[in-house]
């Protein structure tokens, strides 16, 4: 978890940027009321006005353009004049356009630079939102490094800079911070929580921890300040989580509006702020609490960790999980704070306050100083203007020639990682990238091409290190390394090599296709982990991978991209394919797909044929599309053929063992009623084969193991991986056609979201954004 606060990079651009790049500002967005976006807009606009000599025009927009706003605090009434300002600047290049509105809008008027202020709470921004940002803006301003990374990871191609937002509209220097914290004799110790109590805010986690740790024998209360909204279930939550418990501690719920003075007084009457959030775009209550010198207990992940660190707050351990919010997109995660750890931290801060603990007092003062000195609207305005000037200066600058990109990994061979790498790079803009692949020796040399060079043998880590010293790597501006434990080891020296390339100025990306071994039999050393922290990105594919790397302390540069999937074929006649394969139209056909390996449970599928025929009363055919990978695969197939003969079902099985194009495999599997993956346990963290199964748009059945855990919405999870489990699952779906139809519809949506074209462009755009970041780092 972070140890020291981070100052937004825009603050460091102040002295070097030419704010005279813009003589006036046109600001479009919310302006009225207590809506958080309106508060940000008013604070920033008011601070920008003196910076541009009053030449700021505010364009009120709340779902649509409108005139004559009235609900503006008296202290910011000058903004009413800004609504009527007519900009004198005739040169549109001198106009800075700033937009901040939800839902997203853009300013169609001419401007020298178009800027959008943006907040997000989860690890991925939806594809359509990213496309909108890339199309309509030149610069994105964010308040925290978390949101910046999320935008980059989601495929944002334009410049993103972090700039502080102010809290001094509420907590100015004139507001004295809280002094002594210890409650007066007989007074209750107040744990304060301020939020909308959306599920993302973690109110359920807070109530569980509080009720687990405290009783009516503790002189405490949990004070929840919220407001009525469609997602507010706070009264139900308290009732549900209190049920069956005795000696309940006090819980107070306040849903009334509070003005600024009342809110300040609420802070003063409290002793600790508790915010076990699952995701934040800034976390204003945390910043305000620190500015008041109120102790803060908060999740150790999210936007707020720029200012809530071990030196300023108590951080709750967490685990990554798929987001359950209404805004979630494919691959989006949030975190689950640990309830037991939160309970212990609440008890510990309770003890520290009562004992006037020196360590707690140090945290309070450090947090107060950092937030009050960093998060002011004047500093926000200066940082925004400096960032915009930098972006304008660099907007038209193009890199001379193509970006040189080196790839270490399998290529053009029968290997899932090779196929993945080829698909990933398939939609890269070849007019912008010159790609060289240093692959393993399974790929045959071909002097007629210049894309790949066989350079190392499987398992030969030393040869991989030598490949990293090849001129194609040393001269590259982007280095992408594909890793899976069977390819080579991630030892200290190799990790240090990758870090050295990053420090030399290259964008370095390590993609891990299996993370569990890295915390088990192939655990990375502390020196290796420290080196990997320096890389620009580490790409993984599942929430479990995020959690495995979390064990190693790798978080800040880790991103998750689900495996891309081939798209379903246009209409295929399954009857025609069945005729081609000599399968009767009314037979029940079960199919499986992928390289033939012992852990894939194909023997179990063979054993399913007879009991499934007995249960269904239909003829059962098995279609096995399993290409031979190596000698071990061939031996396994021979053993399966013998097992089929032993059971007397060899005539019911159609084996196709040629290495066929994926589209041909999809065409053949259209003959199936079900595609089944009865895998046994494996160290692999993801399965490419199952994504092919999903693209058939036939119901996909999987065994209940971790490799399929991220596919729960689009697969049918069997009770086990035995033949009886397969029969049970199929018979249940046969009896519920509506359930089967809904499953297939979810598969359609899922495959569309994960097209290789979309994922390839996302990584292409991310690399472009990281290259912009390299330039920005030189300016700060």
Residue at which a domain ends, from 343, 360, 394: 394
Please check whether residue 758 lies inside any domain of the structure. Answer: no
E strand residue ranges, 338-432: 403-408
CATH of the domain at 103: 3.40.50
Quote the pLDDT of residue 284.
97
Q: Cα–Cα distance between 334 and 319 in angstroms, integer?
A: 9
- Tens of pLDDT, residues 654-669: 999 998 999 999 999 9
Q: Quick one: pLDDT band at residue 206, thresholds 50, 70, 90? A: very high
Residue at which a domain ends, from 515, 530, 560: 560
What is the residue-averaged pLDDT of the chain? 95
Please check whether residue 500 lies inside any domain of the structure. Answer: yes
Q: Cα–Cα distance between 22 and 93 in angstroms, integer?
A: 8
Please check whether residue 338 lies inside any domain of the structure. Answer: yes
- Tens of pLDDT, residues 166-197: 999 999 999 999 999 999 999 999 999 999 99
**Domain ranges, residue 25:** 9-166+380-394
Q: Cα–Cα distance between 453 and 443 in angstroms, integer?
A: 8
Q: Say yes or no: 583 and 555 in one domain.
A: no
Q: Is the pLDDT of residue 17 over 50?
A: no
Q: Say yes or no: 300 and 320 in one domain.
A: yes
Per the structure, the count of domains in the chain is: 4
- Tens of pLDDT, residues 434-463: 999 999 999 999 999 999 999 999 999 999
Q: Exposure of 648 by Cβ count < 10 A (0-12 exposed, 13-18 middle, 19+ buried)?
A: exposed
Q: Say yes or no: 253 and 360 in one domain.
A: yes
- Tens of pLDDT, residues 518-549: 999 888 999 999 999 999 999 999 999 999 99
Q: Is the pLDDT of residue 16 over 60?
A: no
Q: Say yes or no: 384 and 370 in one domain.
A: no
Q: Say yes or no: 224 and 338 in one domain.
A: yes
Please check whether residue 733 lies inside any domain of the structure. Answer: yes
The 3-class SS string of 660-692 reads CCHHHHHHHHCCCCEEEECCCCCCCCCCHHHHH
Strands 56-60 and 24-29, sheet pairing: parallel
Q: Say yes or no: 387 and 427 in one domain.
A: no
Q: Say yes or no: 351 and 464 in one domain.
A: no
Please check whether residue 515 lies inside any domain of the structure. Answer: yes
Q: Say yes or no: 420 and 384 in one domain.
A: no
Strands 220-225 and 113-117, sheet pairing: unpaired
Please check whether residue 667 lies inside any domain of the structure. Answer: yes
CATH of the domain at 679: 3.40.50.2000
Cβ proximity of 337 and 276 under 8 Å: yes
Q: Is the peptide bond before 642 cis (omega within 30 degrees of 0)?
A: no
Q: Say yes or no: 387 and 483 in one domain.
A: no
Q: Quick one: pLDDT band at residue 398, thresholds 50, 70, 90? A: low
Q: Say yes or no: 320 and 265 in one domain.
A: yes
Q: Is the pLDDT of residue 95 over 90?
A: yes
Give the residue carrying structure tokens 């499953």: 743
Q: Say yes or no: 509 and 595 in one domain.
A: no
Q: Say yes or no: 603 and 617 in one domain.
A: yes
- Tens of pLDDT, residues 608-631: 999 999 999 999 999 999 988 788
């Amino acid at each position: 978890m972070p140890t020291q606060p981070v100052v937004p990079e825009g603050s460091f651009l102040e002295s070097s940027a030419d704010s005279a790049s813009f003589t006036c500002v046109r600001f479009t967005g919310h302006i009225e009321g207590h809506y958080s976006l309106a508060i940000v807009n008013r604070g920033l606009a008011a601070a920008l006005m003196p910076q541009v000599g009053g030449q700021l025009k505010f364009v009120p927009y709340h779902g649509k353009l409108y005139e004559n706003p009235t609900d503006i605090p008296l202290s910011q009434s000058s903004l009413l004049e800004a609504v009527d300002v007519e900009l004198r600047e005739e040169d549109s290049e001198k106009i800075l356009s700033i937009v901040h509105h939800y839902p997203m809008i853009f300013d169609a008027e001419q401007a020298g630079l178009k800027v959008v202020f943006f907040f997000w709470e989860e690890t991925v921004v939806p594809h359509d939102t990213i496309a909108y940002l890339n199309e309509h803006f030149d610069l994105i301003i964010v308040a925290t490094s978390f949101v910046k990374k999320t935008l980059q990871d989601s495929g944002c191609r334009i410049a993103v800079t972090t700039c502080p937002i102010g809290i001094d509209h509420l907590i100015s220097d004139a507001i004295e911070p809280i002094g002594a914290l210890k409650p007066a004799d007989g007074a209750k110790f107040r744990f304060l929580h301020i939020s909308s109590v959306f599920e993302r805010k973690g109110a359920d986690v807070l109530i569980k921890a509080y009720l687990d740790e405290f009783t009516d024998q503790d002189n405490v209360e949990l004070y929840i300040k919220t407001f009525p909204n469609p997602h507010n279930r706070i009264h139900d939550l308290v009732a549900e989580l209190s049920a069956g418990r005795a000696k309940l501690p006090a819980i107070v719920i306040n849903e009334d509006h509070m003005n600024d003075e009342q809110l300040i007084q609420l802070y003063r009457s409290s002793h600790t702020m508790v915010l076990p959030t699952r995701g934040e775009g800034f976390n204003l209550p945390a910043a305000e609490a620190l500015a008041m010198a109120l102790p803060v207990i908060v999740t150790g992940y999210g936007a707020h960790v720029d200012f809530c660190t071990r030196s300023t707050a108590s951080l709750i351990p967490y685990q990554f999980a798929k987001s359950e919010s209404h805004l979630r997109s494919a691959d989006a995660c949030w975190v689950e704070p640990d309830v037991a750890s939160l309970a212990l931290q609440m008890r510990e801060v309770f003890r520290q306050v009562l004992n006037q603990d020196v360590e707690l007092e140090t945290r309070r003062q450090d947090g107060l100083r950092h937030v009050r000195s960093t998060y002011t609207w004047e500093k926000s305005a200066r940082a925004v203007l400096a960032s915009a000037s930098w972006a304008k200066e660099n907007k038209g600058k193009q890199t001379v020639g193509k970006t040189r990109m080196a790839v270490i990994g399998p290529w053009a061979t029968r290997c899932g990682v090779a196929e993945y790498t080829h698909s990933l790079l398939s939609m890269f803009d070849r007019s912008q990238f010159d790609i060289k692949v240093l692959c393993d020796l399974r790929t045959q040399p071909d002097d007629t091409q210049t894309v790949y060079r066989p350079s190392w043998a499987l398992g030969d880590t030393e040869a991989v290190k030598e490949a990293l010293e090849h001129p194609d790597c040393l001269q590259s501006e982007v280095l992408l390394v594909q890793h899976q434990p069977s390819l080579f080891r991630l030892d200290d020296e190799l990790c240090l090599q990758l870090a050295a390339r990053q420090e030399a100025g290259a964008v370095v990306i390590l993609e891990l296709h299996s993370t569990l071994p890295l915390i088990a039999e192939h655990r990375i050393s502390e020196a290796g982990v420290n080196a990997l922290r320096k890389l620009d990105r580490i790409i993984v594919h599942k929430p479990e991978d995020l959690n495995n790397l979390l064990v190693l302390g790798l978080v800040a540069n880790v991103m998750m991209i689900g495996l891309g999937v081939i798209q379903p074929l246009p209409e295929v006649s399954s009857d025609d394919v069945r005729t081609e394969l000599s399968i009767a139209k009314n037979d029940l056909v079960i199919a499986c797909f992928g390289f033939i390996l012992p852990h894939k449970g194909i023997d179990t599928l063979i054993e399913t044929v007879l009991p499934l025929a007995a249960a269904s009363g239909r003829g059962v055919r098995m279609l096995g599309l399993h290409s031979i990978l190596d000698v071990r695969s061939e031996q396994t197939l021979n053993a399966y053929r013998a097992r089929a003969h032993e059971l007397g079902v060899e005539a019911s099985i159609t084996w196709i063992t040629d290495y066929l194009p994926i589209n041909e495999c999809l065409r053949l599997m259209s003959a199936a009623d079900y595609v089944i993956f009865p895998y046994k346990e494996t160290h692999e963290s993801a399965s490419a084969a199952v994504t092919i199964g999903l693209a058939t748009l036939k119901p996909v059945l999987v065994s209940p193991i971790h490799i399929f855990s991220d596919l729960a919405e689009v697969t049918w999870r069997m009770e086990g991986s035995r033949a009886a489990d397969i029969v049970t699952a199929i018979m249940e779906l046969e009896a519920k056609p509506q359930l089967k139809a809904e499953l297939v519809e979810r598969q359609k949506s899922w495959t569309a979201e994960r097209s290789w074209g979309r994922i390839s462009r996302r990584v292409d755009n991310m690399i472009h954004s990281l290259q912009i970041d390299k330039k920005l780092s030189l300016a700060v």
